[in-house]
């Protein structure tokens, strides 16, 4: 199954986006496979209450959503893979180190790489969401692949417009989609990108 990886620093909005994007593509429930178990929620709100948090490292195991993109010429199935946040430094917590190792292990076979940054915090030094060396490394790795896309998330927040300029400067040459996992801004563009590369 082709996988579409959602990667980035902690707290940038990977999980909220993954849940909302699943519904945007027409999923009726959230069915998520994690650490060998499958869980189902009836709505994105119920899933988000449990899986999304303003604390970094909420996601500690890769979470797969089996999805389908419908197109005129038939539909395509793929796995949307929400991952644990990556950091510049090796984290003190063993659980976070394991989550990061699991995430990096998936990079090579990914059909599509969605690299998410927080446009509202990219220029906030010291913030966990600020862009860092790990973003530069993901960019270096990802841009050699055709299916790499940068998601500039949290465009609904103050400072995100200036942040978007910085995202485009830092990652010049890569396609960037201004996004809000909260409002749904940019979801259609992400869908078109994923569909093109499946
Ligand atoms: N305003 C706003 N808040 C957002 C947006 N996307 C995510 N958030 C908030 O950002 C926080 C982190 O969201 P998550 O989806 O848990 O982030 P994550 O990248 O999965 O975080 P980890 O699993 O810890 O790596 C939560 O408080 C979300 O509600 C957005 O587009 N706009
Ligand atoms: Mg998460």
Tens-place pLDDT, residues 99-110: 999 999 999 889
Residue 145's pLDDT band (cuts 50, 70, 90) = confident
Ligand 1 within 6 A of CB of 63: no
From the CA of 157, give the closest atom in ligand 1.
Answer: 1
Mean of all residue pLDDT scores within the chain: 95
Pocket mutation for ligand 1, best pick of 9, 14, 16, 91 (most atoms within 8 Å of C-beta):
16
Q: What is the pLDDT of residue 198?
A: 87
CATH number, residue 153: 3.40.50.300
Q: Please identify every residue whose CB atom is under 5 Å from ligand 2, which is an ion.
A: 14-15, 58-59
Residue span of the structural domain in which 155 resides:
3-197
194 contacts 112 by C-beta, under 8 angstroms? yes
Share of the chain above pLDDT 90, in %: 89
How does strand 176-178 pair with strand 148-153? parallel
Residue nearest to atom 13 of ligand 1 (CA): 13
Distance CA 49, CA 44 (A): 8
Sign of the C-alpha dihedral computed for residues 183, 166, 120 and 127 taken in this order: positive
Q: What is the pLDDT of residue 2?
A: 86
Q: How many structural domains does the chain have?
A: 1
């Amino acid at each position: 199954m082709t996988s579409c990886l959602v990667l980035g620093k902690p707290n940038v909005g990977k999980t909220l986006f993954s849940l909302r994007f699943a519904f945007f593509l027409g999923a009726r429930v959230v069915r998520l496979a994690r650490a060998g178990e499958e869980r189902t929620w009836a709505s994105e709100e119920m899933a988000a209450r449990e899986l999304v948090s303003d604390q970094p490292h909420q996601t500690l195991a890769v979470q797969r959503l089996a999805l389908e993109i419908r197109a005129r010429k038939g539909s395509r199935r793929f796995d949307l893979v929400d991952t644990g946040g990556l950091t510049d430094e090796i984290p003190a917590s063993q659980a976070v180190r394991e989550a990061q190792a699991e995430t990096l292990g998936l990079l090579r076979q990914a059909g599509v790489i969605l690299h998410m940054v927080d446009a509202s915090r990219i220029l906030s030094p010291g913030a966990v969401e600020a862009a860092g060396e790990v973003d530069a490394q993901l960019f270096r790795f990802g841009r050699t692949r055709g299916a790499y896309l940068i998601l500039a998330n949290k465009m609904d927040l103050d400072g995100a417009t200036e942040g978007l300029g910085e995202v485009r400067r830092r990652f010049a040459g890569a396609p960037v989609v201004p996004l809000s996992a909260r409002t749904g801004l940019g979801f259609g563009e992400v869908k078109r990108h994923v569909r093109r590369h499946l």
